[in-house]
Structure 1
Amino acid sequence: MSDTQTLIENRPPSVAALFLERVAATPDAEAYRYPVPPASGEGPDGWKSLTWAEAAIRVRAVAAGLVSLGIGAEERVALASSTRVEWILADLGILCAGAATTTVYPSTNAEESTFILSDSGSRVLIAEDAGQLAKARDRRADLPELRHVVVIDAADVTEDDGDPEGWVLTLAELEERGAAELAKNPGLIEERVAAITSDQLATLIYTSGTTGRPKGVRLLQDSWSYMAKAIAATGLVRADDVQYLWLPLAHVFGKVLTSGHIEVGHVTAVDGRVDKIIENLPVVQPTYMAAVPRIFEKVYNGVAARARAGGAAKYKIFLWAAEVAREYAKASQDNFRRTGTASAPLALSAKHRVADALVYSKLREAFGGRLRAAISGSAALAPDIGFFFAGAGVHILEGYGLTESSAASFVNPGEAYRTGTVGKPLPGTEVRIADDGEVLLRGPGIMAGYHGLPEKTLEVLEADGWFHTGDIGELSADGYLRITDRKKDLIKTSGGKYIAPAEVEGQFKGVCPYVSNILVHGGDRNFCTALITLDEAAILDWAKEKGLSATSYADVVAAPETVELVEGYVKQLNEGLQRWQTIKKFRLLPRDLDIEHGELTPSLKLKRPVVEREYKHLIEDMYAGTREA
């Protein structure tokens, strides 16, 4: 047995145990950085740090405070907050109390929040602010099991005569209670952590389903302990790293990063404000970060827009440099596959050096100048976007996993990464491809089942542990996985041809620098159509350059000039597709898709049924007059 396998198999039963080990090993090392906005509300944020020992003081206080509220082993404590350092401290406090965290997106509406709190049986809710508290207050009658609400930021919280006594308290008050509890019983947390077994519930994460109620995915203590060890075993993360963590921690992708961080012991800078990413990167100067494809698409579109705004010559240089980057990345990766050395032909390398000085170096500076690698997950990254960044020296390592597999099942292996694939399985995770092409997974990261839904569990989880992902994929001879589409999303045209819409959509994102979202439709139809939204900032800049009188997004996308612009990119896309894949008609939507309207999941995945239902009239209009209409 290899040292790596031994390390993974001899893991502690919980991340709580790993956390105490980390604190004991490196108490004075920096653990977290977090922003502190200026008192005036203007100017750049300052940043503060917590050492592992300082973090442990707060985590232990939270844990002991929950114990004082009567929280026992595996009882659920819900967390409804954006990504911030208090989220992590609270989650670790819940785990160190032996309890289980129910994650709730702060954007979740009151009705669905109530369902999640009720279905999970959560006894305590840790709410970010008055807005999150209000959701529980308004539905208090529907939440008889909810004993307390703990508010992180209590600045705008007001008293409510209807609140039972002690029902609302602040995070500071919870920690004070915990400190008093620890004064009476200093070994309380160690006792709680020692009592945790690997098969206890650690986390309930509710999947944002496209139809019906979300399902609660039961992830055990062992899943996170395994993930922590497996991430460390990949060698992708080092003790001297600085991670920039902005992903929603209510999502499994963000959550798993906290486990790897504890095991490796590097620094994590935490700030979930998406509008602060560009501002934060040069300040944090991360060596690695994780993101969803939409972030890289927006960066690419932004760079292209700035080049275009600089005039025709500058834009021509950018387009040339972008093509050189893609050629260089493909050549380098192909050569690495054959020889183990990432190199390109001399002539291409010479062009690459020129492009680097003109374009790529500035792009790397925008990421902080020290980024060794970026992890992309949650959805497929368009290969053309991936090759562009790879050639520019921003190495995007695609990974793959689901909520049901604790997020990280596959990741590209560092220097040997292959754009367009999701890499190799993590140590300890098994994979096989079913006869119909579906990807099946087995390993310690796989869920115990759906909460309270045994029949739904049986639909995807076999008795011998194999989990049906619902994704279609191909496995190379040397173990690299390529996801081609969701099994349920495959389109079969009326002519009998199968089409993977995500593949076509990804290619369009590599062709059109203005696209924000695209949905390809064509099931049981005789040709494919598309609903397209554009990046608002990029298309408004273009409209201004063109002297269009329209100023709002809706007016710009309705302009004939904009339709003509996008039509050119659709024709370019179609040139590289099979005849039955080509987009015959498209419609530009009057606004972008978003989470608030239920068209995107909180991790920015497209909810196809929702979008197709909402814009059914546009879809039907595109097929009007055909034989099937």
Structure 2
Amino acid sequence: MPGFLASLLLPVLMTMAMRFRKKSRLRGVAEEVGGEPGVTRRNQRFPALVETPWEGATTLAALFEQACEKYADQPLLGTRTLISVESEAGPDGRSLEKVTLGPYVWISYGQAFEKVKLFSSGLLEFGHVKEEKIALFAETRAEWLIALQACFRNNITVVTIYASLGEDALAHSLNETEVTTVICDRKQLKKLIDLGESLETVRRVVYMDDDSDKSTLAACAWQLESFSNIEKLGKGSTAQAHFPNASDIAVIMYTSGSTGLPKGVIMSHRNIVATIAGVMTVVADISPKDVYIAYLPLAHILELTAETTMCAAGVAIGYGSPLTLTDTSSKIKKGTKGDVGELKPTLMTAVPAILDRVRDGVRRTVEAKGGLAKRLFQTAYRRRLGAVEGSWLGAWGLERVLWNAVVFKNVKRVLGGRLRGMLSGGAPLSGDTQRFINICLGVPIAQGYGLTETCAGATFSEWDDTSVGRVGPPVPHCYVKLVDWEAGGYLASDKPLPRGEIVIGGPSVTIGYFKNQAKTDEVYKTDENGLRWFYTGDIGQFHPDGCLEIVDRKKDIVKLQHGEYISLGKIEAALVVSPYVDSIMAHADPFHNFCVALIVPSQTALENWAKRVGQEYNDYADLCQKEESIKEILKSISQTAKQARLQKSEIPSKIKLLPDPWTPETGLVTAALKIKRENIRKAFAEDLKKLYQ
């Protein structure tokens, strides 16, 4: 009997012990700092802020050169061979470009370093003067990173510009920084030529594609040369490298902000290196054994710091694109492997919109199979969800092995089958999607929080933390402070959890905004100890273990007619979980007592519903206008809102369904797929007005 009782009690006792251990573990601890009063936390493992990954790596140029020496024979940059490009007719009759891609072709760290040296010298032979600025204006690819490091080698400041930036914003960015040389790909070269004389200081253009259209090249009025020829110019150069100091400006990064013209954020080498140093301490066992899939915009601080961190650790970087990422991506020819299927990465960075699509794609596949396969998936998911949210033993024990082998093995192949960890950044990740990735892909997913102004990662949830809705403790290179925002009712003295505006301090906090001292002085402060702080405008709260949760944003809060405050960002983050919602923008008129929403529905989900209930329609746009469609989606988002515990005033009373997706090209979302609230408001002003009539 004692043995029988022991066999029953042991798992319970172990589970309780693990729960207590997880609950009691501190991840962020209190710290006394200068500046405005508030509640401050630092990473519990590091009493002092880290600033460099190792001694001597004080600049991005030094870090890259030392990594290339250390990992000279390891693969660094991988690019897929393009076999063919074809056009196919889509479901709506429009022509769609489809590509057939071959295997990855790699160059080593040592080979990449030689290319960097040649390209750096070649730029000077081409006529670029070191004191002038160079703009990188291209999609993410190996040449982008080579060009970046080549500029650093001669202490040339790089202006980074999103490939999806509109004409006015592009001209503003190039003219404001007085860029003289632009390095671009084939597609962006056409945009530059179209702008013509509106670019005031550009004199030289380097294009990355040797097979660029000759008529396009002939139309270029500037001094023009190919990327490969710049390398050849470098072979005959006698110019010596001119290395930067830690305080020198490395990058002026133009954000595709949600309002107005983009602002240029000034980043020193010290700023970016500090983030790399911090991230390398918290990403588990990152090493040359890892393979990283690179497909997010390198002009975004999230991807730039991710790739430079991978370089520092000897990781192989394989390049892809959002349109060719998986076997079912829109640009992939049927029968061709997507980038992750070919590369089989072990590490991946993603924005929530990408992960939401992965989740929705798997769910659509399961729904289409139906029958026993659907019931088995639902049972497995339910069991695994209970295990993950219950005990550590259930989350990682024998049951996990069983369901992974029987049900989730094929799902893991969607992203290559070898992932051991993911990072989500750029926007809040829904708890539903986080759990889905944990369960179906069988990997931990860490949420990161940071801004361009703080060189990305300010907090980073650790991979053994299975809680949802939080963004982790401070990364060891910075402090995180909460200060009172009395107007919004958020105070550092709040109980049980201190709340307030999130303020980031440390060596990763950037210099300020380019040629915008007034805005710089508004949100950047230097305390009595010389420490730099950035006021984010985000509202957060600290949990007892020192982890941060984002709960609001100052700009997203609207006061309704009867005095209730609602957060538009909070509403959007909750309702995007609905299976019918691809994109959403909540809107509130302060002269009314309810909010409304613009929704881009999931076409597959809405059409499947129409088929199931026998709803007739002419085309998808017509389906979005149907009163029955609106009622169905209103019902769905109301259920989702209740599950998220939104208040009645936070649930949209009326919605407008929009058939066309919001993309960076339409100017309605950023390159990181965050909504541009002002642009959407202007584009659909009449629709919003009608919702309130």
Q: TM-score, normalised by structure 2?
A: 0.82
The equivalent of 2:249 in structure 1 is: 201
Opposite residue 118 of structure 1, the aligned amino acid is N
The equivalent of 1:528 in structure 2 is: 595
Q: Deviations over 1:113-166 (max 9, x none)?
A: 22111111111000101x4223333434333422200011142143777756x7
Query: d(CA) in 2 for partners of 1:296 and 1:616?
Result: 30
The equivalent of 2:34 in structure 1 is: none
Contact conserved, 2:74 with 2:288, CA < 8 A, in 1? no
Three-state SS of the structure 1 residue aligned to 2:266 is: strand
The equivalent of 2:227 in structure 1 is: 171
- CA 1:287/1:559 → structure 2, altered by over 3 Å: closer, same or farther? same
1:257 to 306, 317, 321: 306
2:341 to 282, 285, 288: 282
- CA 1:161/1:575 → structure 2, altered by over 3 Å: closer, same or farther? closer
Whether 1:105 aligns to 2:162 is yes
Query: d(CA) in 2 for partners of 1:566 and 1:442?
Result: 43
The equivalent of 1:578 in structure 2 is: 647
Count of aligned residue pairs for this structure pair: 602
Q: Please show how residues 308-387 of structure 1 align to structure 2 within 5 Å.
A: 308-311=367-370, 313-332=372-391, 342-344=392-394, 355-387=403-435
Three-state SS of the structure 2 residue aligned to 1:209 is: coil
Contact conserved, 2:277 with 2:477, CA < 8 A, in 1? no
Contact conserved, 1:219 with 1:448, CA < 8 A, in 2? yes
Whether 1:457 aligns to 2:520 is yes
Query: d(CA) in 2 for partners of 1:209 and 1:43?
Result: 34
Query: d(CA) in 2 for partners of 1:137 and 1:570?
Result: 45
Query: d(CA) in 1 for partners of 2:593 and 2:401?
Result: 47
Three-state SS of the structure 2 residue aligned to 1:491 is: strand
Query: d(CA) in 1 for partners of 2:605 and 2:678?
Result: 27
Query: d(CA) in 2 for partners of 1:162 and 1:513?
Result: 47
The equivalent of 1:338 in structure 2 is: none
- 1:325: how far off? 3.9
Contact conserved, 1:242 with 1:288, CA < 8 A, in 2? yes
Whether 1:156 aligns to 2:219 is no
The equivalent of 1:146 in structure 2 is: 202
- CA 1:571/1:120 → structure 2, altered by over 3 Å: closer, same or farther? same
The equivalent of 1:442 in structure 2 is: 505
The equivalent of 1:555 in structure 2 is: 622
1:58 to 97, 107, 115: 115
Query: d(CA) in 2 for partners of 1:507 and 1:177?
Result: 54
- CA 1:354/1:216 → structure 2, altered by over 3 Å: closer, same or farther? same
**Gaps spanning 5+ residues in structure 2: where?**
1-45, 87-98, 328-337, 486-499
- CA 1:493/1:324 → structure 2, altered by over 3 Å: closer, same or farther? farther
- 1:320: how far off? 4.3
Contact conserved, 2:448 with 2:460, CA < 8 A, in 1? yes
Query: d(CA) in 2 for partners of 1:72 and 1:424?
Result: 43
Contact conserved, 2:326 with 2:341, CA < 8 A, in 1? no
Query: d(CA) in 1 for partners of 2:321 and 2:421?
Result: 20
Three-state SS of the structure 2 residue aligned to 1:415 is: coil
- 1:345: how far off? 8.7
Contact conserved, 1:470 with 1:486, CA < 8 A, in 2? yes
Identity of aligned residues (%): 28
Query: d(CA) in 1 for partners of 2:403 and 2:84?
Result: 43
Runs of 4+ in structure 1 over 6 Å off? 1-4, 159-162
The equivalent of 2:676 in structure 1 is: 607
Opposite residue 394 of structure 1, the aligned amino acid is V
Query: d(CA) in 1 for partners of 2:218 and 2:570?
Result: 55
- 1:110: how far off? 2.9
1:26 to 71, 77, 86: 71
Contact conserved, 1:300 with 1:513, CA < 8 A, in 2? no
Q: Deviations over 1:223-282 (max 9, x none)?
A: 222222222121433331111111011111111112201211111111234333342222
Query: d(CA) in 2 for partners of 1:369 and 1:345?
Result: 19
Query: d(CA) in 2 for partners of 1:547 and 1:309?
Result: 17
Opposite residue 679 of structure 2, the aligned amino acid is V
Three-state SS of the structure 2 residue aligned to 1:274 is: coil
- 1:449: how far off? 0.7
Query: d(CA) in 1 for partners of 2:386 and 2:678?
Result: 37
Contact conserved, 1:74 with 1:200, CA < 8 A, in 2? no
Contact conserved, 1:65 with 1:179, CA < 8 A, in 2? yes
The equivalent of 1:616 in structure 2 is: 685
Opposite residue 347 of structure 2, the aligned amino acid is Y
Whether 1:38 aligns to 2:72 is no
Opposite residue 547 of structure 2, the aligned amino acid is Y
Query: d(CA) in 1 for partners of 2:85 and 2:692?
Result: 56
Opposite residue 262 of structure 1, the aligned amino acid is C
Contact conserved, 2:75 with 2:107, CA < 8 A, in 1? yes
- CA 1:350/1:507 → structure 2, altered by over 3 Å: closer, same or farther? farther
Contact conserved, 2:460 with 2:472, CA < 8 A, in 1? yes
The equivalent of 1:88 in structure 2 is: 145
Opposite residue 484 of structure 2, the aligned amino acid is D
More displaced, 434-443 or 153-162?
A: 153-162
Three-state SS of the structure 2 residue aligned to 1:530 is: strand
2:558 to 491, 495, 517: 491
Contact conserved, 2:50 with 2:476, CA < 8 A, in 1? yes
Contact conserved, 2:81 with 2:101, CA < 8 A, in 1? no
Three-state SS of the structure 1 residue aligned to 2:539 is: strand
Query: d(CA) in 2 for partners of 1:457 and 1:310?
Result: 55
Contact conserved, 2:53 with 2:280, CA < 8 A, in 1? no
Contact conserved, 1:80 with 1:126, CA < 8 A, in 2? yes
Whether 1:397 aligns to 2:446 is yes
Contact conserved, 2:104 with 2:343, CA < 8 A, in 1? no
- 1:474: how far off? 1.0
Opposite residue 690 of structure 2, the aligned amino acid is D
Q: TM-score, normalised by structure 1?
A: 0.89
Three-state SS of the structure 1 residue aligned to 2:317 is: strand
Query: d(CA) in 2 for partners of 1:558 and 1:46?
Result: 45
Q: Please show how residues 217-296 of structure 1 align to structure 2 within 5 Å.
A: 217-236=265-284, 237-278=286-327, 279-296=338-355
Contact conserved, 2:74 with 2:108, CA < 8 A, in 1? yes
**Gaps spanning 5+ residues in structure 1: where?**
333-341, 625-629
Query: d(CA) in 2 for partners of 1:111 and 1:350?
Result: 57
- 1:537: how far off? 3.8
Three-state SS of the structure 2 residue aligned to 1:23 is: helix
Three-state SS of the structure 1 residue aligned to 2:573 is: helix
